């Protein structure tokens, strides 16, 4: 979204990490560092809220995603509320703060680090590797479905665009971008899993559930969108869709329906299902999820009872080591 947004989110992530380290060190060493950690985390939450509010125009006008624009719009006030709750005593929010730090360290290098040249050696941007790998796998799925669009260079300079030739001769390009890789969702789950206090083996088990499912669903989603848009399979209610998204190009209708409506709503359902599966492997995650629901609703929720999940693992070995 721009250099200023990139700088802001890096500062926010570093503040979250500093707060987490301060709280962890104080707890382990017996030193009273809670107030310092609380102030640092509170500042990070305020900055995080400003970041989300600043991103609303991007999601609404440039990305044309009403779902993501809405989430960013409510994310700002939710972060400010988290800052208030943490500062006034809800210490469980330190877990979510640590989680956001981990999410940032996973996601931001791919989002913000450009291609560089060191000693005459050109190093591509990290995002290029991930996007082009996703593009290749997406191409396998498209081919398996019986289609063969041309693979051409994207506006970013990557081999990550499937070019379709329609029956009327019109050329329609479907670009594979960072969002198609599932990196955002992978970063979210990795951060949450890393932040809770649980044995390492169960954390790894939870990652083994979340990461492959997210990646596989995303490449199938990307292939579905490419096929639907490249063949104009969902040219439904074009006037209404174009009006809703502020578009005038009728060739965009199938893309908007398949991606912005069907895929994004489906992603919400899929993420809820993955969260349930991960929570079965890592019940400690319930504390974080309950904090998120508290920020959204202002009320405490008992997910243990609602989802019929154990608060503690059922079959832990005696003396299992806890990791923070």
pLDDT in tens, 50-101: 999 999 988 887 777 777 888 889 989 999 999 999 999 888 889 999 999 9
Averaged pLDDT score across all residues of the chain: 88
Catalytic residue among 180, 202, 252, 260: 180
Per-residue tokens: 288: 């974080």
For residue 289, the model assigns a pLDDT of: 83
Whether residue 268 is found in the same domain as residue 150: yes
Is residue 324 domain-resident? Answer: no
Whether residue 238 is found in the same domain as residue 266: yes
Partners of 16 in beta bridges: none
Whether residue 198 is found in the same domain as residue 247: yes
Catalytic residue among 38, 127, 202, 221: 221
Whether residue 179 is found in the same domain as residue 263: yes
Whether residue 130 is found in the same domain as residue 61: no
Give the pLDDT band (50/70/90) at residue 139. very high
User: pLDDT digit string (tens) for 168-195?
Assistant: 999 999 999 998 999 999 999 999 999 9
Whether residue 158 is found in the same domain as residue 294: yes
CA distance 188 to 106: 9
- Boundary of a domain, candidates 58, 80, 114: 114
Give the global pTM: 0.84
Inform me whether the pLDDT recorded for 2 exceeds 80: no
- Tell me if residue 79 is catalytic: no
Is residue 248 domain-resident? Answer: yes
CA distance 149 to 165: 8
Per-residue tokens: 263: 């895929």
User: pLDDT digit string (tens) for 221-244?
Assistant: 999 999 999 999 999 999 999 998
- Tell me if residue 27 is catalytic: no
Whether residue 27 is found in the same domain as residue 144: no
Is residue 56 domain-resident? Answer: yes
- Boundary of a domain, candidates 59, 88, 114: 114
Give the pLDDT band (50/70/90) at residue 301. confident
Whether residue 181 is found in the same domain as residue 241: yes
Q: Considering only CA atoms, which of 108, 150, 281, 296 is closest in space to residue 210?
A: 281
Question: Which spans in the chain are helix H?
Answer: 3-29, 34-57, 66-87, 93-112, 126-144, 183-195, 200-230, 238-245, 253-255, 264-281, 285-297, 303-307
Give the pLDDT band (50/70/90) at residue 28. confident
For residue 91, the model assigns a pLDDT of: 86
Is residue 143 domain-resident? Answer: yes
Whether residue 42 is found in the same domain as residue 177: no
The count of structural domains within the chain is: 2
Collapsed DSSP state (helix, strand, coil) of residue 218? helix
Is residue 315 domain-resident? Answer: no
Q: Which residue has the higher pLDDT, 144 or 296?
A: 144
Inform me whether the pLDDT recorded for 318 exceeds 90: no
For residue 128, the model assigns a pLDDT of: 92
158-189: buried (b, 16+ CB within 10 Å) or exposed (e) per residue?
A: bebbbebeeeeeeebbbbbbbbbbbbbbbbbb
Whether residue 131 is found in the same domain as residue 26: no
Inform me whether the pLDDT recorded for 270 exceeds 60: yes
CA distance 209 to 197: 18
CB-based contacts of 126, cutoff 8 Å, min separation 6: 109, 110, 113
| Phi and psi torsions of 123, nearest 5° | -110, 120
Range of the domain at 73: 1-114
Whether residue 138 is found in the same domain as residue 177: yes
Whether residue 31 is found in the same domain as residue 174: no
For residue 14, the model assigns a pLDDT of: 96
Is residue 321 domain-resident? Answer: no
Is residue 228 domain-resident? Answer: yes
- For the residues of 12-27, what is the DSSP string, one character each? HHHHHHHHHHHHHHHH
């Amino acid at each position: 979204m721009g250099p200023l947004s990139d700088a802001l989110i890096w500062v926010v992530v570093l503040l979250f990490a500093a707060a987490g380290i301060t709280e962890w060190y104080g707890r382990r060493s017996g030193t009273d560092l809670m107030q310092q950690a609380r102030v640092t985390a509170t500042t990070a939450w305020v900055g995080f809220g400003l970041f989300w509010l600043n991103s609303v125009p991007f999601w609404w006008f440039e990305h044309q995603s009403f779902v993501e624009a809405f989430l960013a719009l409510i994310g700002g006030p939710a972060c400010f509320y988290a800052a208030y709750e943490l500062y006034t005593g809800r210490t469980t929010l330190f877990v979510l703060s640590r989680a956001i730090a981990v999410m940032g360290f996973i996601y931001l290098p791919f989002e913000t680090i450009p291609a560089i040249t060191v000693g005459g050696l050109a190093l591509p941007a990290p995002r290029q590797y991930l996007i082009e790998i996703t593009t290749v796998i997406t191409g396998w799925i498209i081919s398996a479905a019986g289609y063969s669009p041309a693979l051409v260079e994207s506006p970013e300079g990557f081999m990550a665009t499937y070019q379709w030739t329609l029956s009327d001769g019109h050329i329609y390009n479907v670009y594979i971008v960072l969002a198609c890789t599932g990196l955002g969702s992978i970063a979210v789950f990795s951060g949450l899993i890393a932040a809770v206090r649980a044995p390492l083996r169960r954390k790894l088990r939870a990652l083994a559930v979340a990461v492959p499912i997210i990646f596989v669903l995303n490449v199938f989603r990307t292939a579905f969108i490419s096929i639907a848009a490249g063949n104009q399979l969902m040219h439904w209610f074009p006037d209404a869709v174009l009006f809703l998204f502020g578009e005038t190009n009728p060739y965009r209708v199938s893309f908007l329906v398949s991606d912005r409506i069907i895929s994004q709503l489906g992603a919400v359902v899929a993420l809820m299902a993955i969260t349930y599966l991960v929570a079965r492997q890592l019940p400690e995650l319930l504390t974080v999820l309950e904090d998120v629901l508290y920020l959204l609703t202002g009320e405490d929720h008992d997910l243990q009872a609602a989802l019929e999940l154990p608060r503690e693992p059922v079959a832990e070995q005696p003396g299992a080591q806890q990791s923070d």
